[in-house]
Amino acid sequence: MQMIPFVDLKAQYQSLKKEMDKAILDLVGSTQFILGEDVTLFEQEFSKYCDVKHTVAVSSGTEALILALRALEIGPGDEVIVPANTFIATALAVSYVGATPVLVDADDQNYNMDPEHVVRAITPKTKAIMPVHLYGQPADMSLLLKIAKEHKLFVVEDACQAHGAEYKGKRVGGIGDIAAFSFYPGKNLGAYGDGGAVTTNNKKLFDRVTLLHNYGQKIKYHHLVKGTNSRLDTLQASILRVKLPHLDRWNSRRQEIARMYSQGLANLPVTLPAIDKNSTHVFHIYAILTPKREKLQKHLQENGISAQIHYPVPIHLQKAYAELLHGKGDFPVSEYLANHELSLPMYAEMTDTQVQVVINCVRDFFSEK
Ligand SMILES: *Cc1c(COP(=O)(O)O)cnc(C)c1O
Q: How many CB atoms lie within 10 A of CB 20?
A: 18
Ligand 1: which of 94, 161, 183 to mutate, judged by most atoms within 8 Å of the beta carbon? Answer: 161
**Closest-CA residue to 63 (of 237, 239, 195, 254):** 195
Ligand 1: which of 58, 62, 198, 236 to mutate, judged by most atoms within 8 Å of the beta carbon? Answer: 62
Is 0.85 topped by the overall pTM?
A: yes
- Asked whether residue 247 carries a pLDDT value surpassing 90, the answer given is yes
- Ligand 1 center to residue 52 CA distance, Å? 20
**Nearest atom, ligand 1, residue 134 CA:** 13
- Ligand 1 center to residue 22 CA distance, Å? 29
Q: Is the CB of 184 within 6 Å of ligand 1?
A: yes
Predicted confidence (pLDDT) per residue in 11-46, tens digit: 999 999 999 999 999 999 999 999 999 999 999 999
Number of helices and strands in the chain (H, E): 12, 13
Q: Is the CB of 196 within 6 Å of ligand 1?
A: yes
Q: Is the CB of 182 within 6 Å of ligand 1?
A: yes
Burial class (CB within 10 angstroms; exposed 0-12, middle 13-18, buried 19+) of 353: exposed
pLDDT of residue 50: 98
Predicted confidence (pLDDT) per residue in 100-137, tens digit: 999 999 999 999 999 999 999 999 999 999 999 999 99
Predicted confidence (pLDDT) per residue in 248-257, tens digit: 999 999 999 9
- Asked whether residue 369 carries a pLDDT value surpassing 60, the answer given is no
pLDDT of residue 2: 80
Ligand 1: which of 135, 137, 184 to mutate, judged by most atoms within 8 Å of the beta carbon? Answer: 184
- Ligand 1 center to residue 94 CA distance, Å? 13
- Ligand 1 center to residue 65 CA distance, Å? 9
Q: Is the CB of 194 within 6 Å of ligand 1?
A: yes
Say how far apart CA 63 and CA 48 lie, in whole Å. 22
Predicted confidence (pLDDT) per residue in 304-346, tens digit: 999 999 999 999 999 999 999 999 999 999 999 999 999 999 9
- Asked whether residue 1 carries a pLDDT value surpassing 90, the answer given is no
Question: 56 — phi, psi (to 5°)?
Answer: -115, 120
- Ligand 1 center to residue 327 CA distance, Å? 25
> Which DSSP string corresponds to 216-262?
TEEETTEESS---B-BPBHHHHHHHHHHGGGHHHHHHHHHHHHHHHH
What integer is the mean pLDDT of 232-252?
Answer: 98
What percent of the chain is modeled with pLDDT above 70? 100
Q: Is the CB of 236 within 6 Å of ligand 1?
A: no
Q: Is the CB of 59 within 6 Å of ligand 1?
A: no
Cα 289 to its chain centre, rounded Å, is 20
What integer is the mean pLDDT of 188-200?
Answer: 98
Per this entry, what is the length of the chain? 369
Cα 290 to its chain centre, rounded Å, is 23
Q: Is the CB of 60 within 6 Å of ligand 1?
A: yes
What integer is the mean pLDDT of 51-69?
Answer: 98
Predicted confidence (pLDDT) per residue in 61-84, tens digit: 999 999 999 999 999 999 999 999
Task: Output the average pLDDT for the chain.
Answer: 97
- Asked whether residue 49 carries a pLDDT value surpassing 70, the answer given is yes
Expressed in angstroms, the distance from the first to the final Cα of the chain is 23
- Ligand 1 center to residue 304 CA distance, Å? 27
**Nearest atom, ligand 1, residue 89 CA:** 10
- Ligand 1 center to residue 171 CA distance, Å? 18
Say if residues 178 and 192 touch (Cβ distance below 8 Å). no
Say how far apart CA 261 and CA 264 lie, in whole Å. 5
Predicted confidence (pLDDT) per residue in 125-174, tens digit: 999 999 999 999 999 999 999 999 999 999 999 999 999 999 999 999 99
Ligand 1: which of 67, 80, 87, 343 to mutate, judged by most atoms within 8 Å of the beta carbon? Answer: 87
Cis before 49 (ω within 30): no
Burial class (CB within 10 angstroms; exposed 0-12, middle 13-18, buried 19+) of 312: exposed
Give CA separation, 111 vs 60, 102, 105, 165, 297, in Å: 24, 17, 9, 15, 21
List the residue whose alpha carbon is closest to atom 7 of ligand 1.
61
Q: Is the CB of 315 within 6 Å of ligand 1?
A: no
- Ligand 1 center to residue 61 CA distance, Å? 5
Helices (H), the chain: 9-30, 37-50, 61-71, 89-96, 115-121, 141-150, 203-212, 234-243, 247-264, 293-302, 332-340, 352-368
Q: What residues are paired with 100 via a beta bridge?
A: 79
